[in-house]
Amino acid sequence: MKKRHIQAVKILLLLFISISIISCTKYEKEKIAISKGIGSEGYLQYGKWMKELNPEVELINLYGFGVDSALKLLNTCDGLILSGGPDVHPLNYGQPDYYSLCEIDSVRDTLEFKLIENALSKKMPILAVCRGFQIFNVYMGGTLFADLPTQRPGEVSHRCENKDACFHDVKLYKSQNFDFWGDIKNTRVNTNHHQGIDYLSEDLYPTSYAKDGLIESFEWIVPENQSYLIAVQWHPERLSDENPELSDSLGNNFLRAVTKFRKSKK
């Protein structure tokens, strides 16, 4: 009887461990790193947007950590959001004379270049927004207009005093890689930037333009064997009221790529 009792206990213990493993696997949260996701309501909005689309997702801010620590945290994640923020240093794309017209965070430039390098090496999904859109192009060898009002004045206001009331039209071109764009169409996006893409990296392909010809989004020319990439100049995390279809489409497609990446690691 004693042997049977011990055997029964062992079976129950193994069953408990198996159920625990299955339960942990079932409820394992997808983790998304944000290059900067704290410091103001605007930065917190990225996490809120992701949570609205998927309440189970876990957001991890990387700003404020040393590069090595940030990369270790990134290695635990399934996707990377390069968030908006201050200007990319003009030295990074050969226009040092415009430094005085820019708001610079050199620490962040250094951090994000390393994050991009690491994410690309792992083929991790990337969502690049506003500043993130710009610094990704610079990392890939592209350049920027350091100050649109002086270098490229035009009919479109890309930055207003009240950023929450600043919008303009863009033309979306059907994407090679993402079906959520649909056919060519005009749509309305928010805007809050004074830098913009001048020369687009040869590895990237523009998928939308503002009326003044400024590039508003891009993707890979050749997406095979690359990180899933969505890069937009506007702020989809703050677009749900004005243009929920576009905001939700961008976010959900990124989240699907994150899920796919997480499953591929197992």
Using the predicted structure, report yes or no on whether residue 27 has a pLDDT greater than 50: no
Does the pLDDT of residue 109 top 90, yes or no?
yes
Q: What is the pLDDT of residue 76?
A: 97
- pLDDT tens for 116-162 read 999 999 999 999 999 999 999 999 999 999 988 888 887 888 888 88
DSSP of the chain, one letter per residue? -HHHHHHHHHHHHHHHHHHHHHHHHHTPPPEEEESS--SSHHHHHHHHHHHHH-TT-EEEE-TTS-HHHHHHHHTT-SEEEE---SBPPGGGGT-GGGGGGS-B-HHHHHHHHHHHHHHHHHT--EEEETHHHHHHHHHTT--EES-HHHHS--SS----SSGGG-EEEEEEPPPSS-GGG-SSEEEEEE---S-EESSPPTTEEEEEEETTS-EEEEEESS-TTS--EEEESS-GGG-TTT-HHHHHHHHHHHHHHHHHHHHHT-
Judged against a pLDDT cut of 60, whether residue 90 lies above it is answered with: yes
Residues 153-183: pLDDT tens digits?
A: 878 888 888 888 899 999 998 887 777 777 7
Percent of the chain residues past pLDDT 90, beyond the cut: 71
Instruction: Give the per-residue pLDDT at 5.
Output: 54
Residues assigned a catalytic role: 130, 235, 237
| Model confidence, pTM | 0.88
CATH architecture observed for domain 30-264: 3-Layer(aba) Sandwich (3.40)
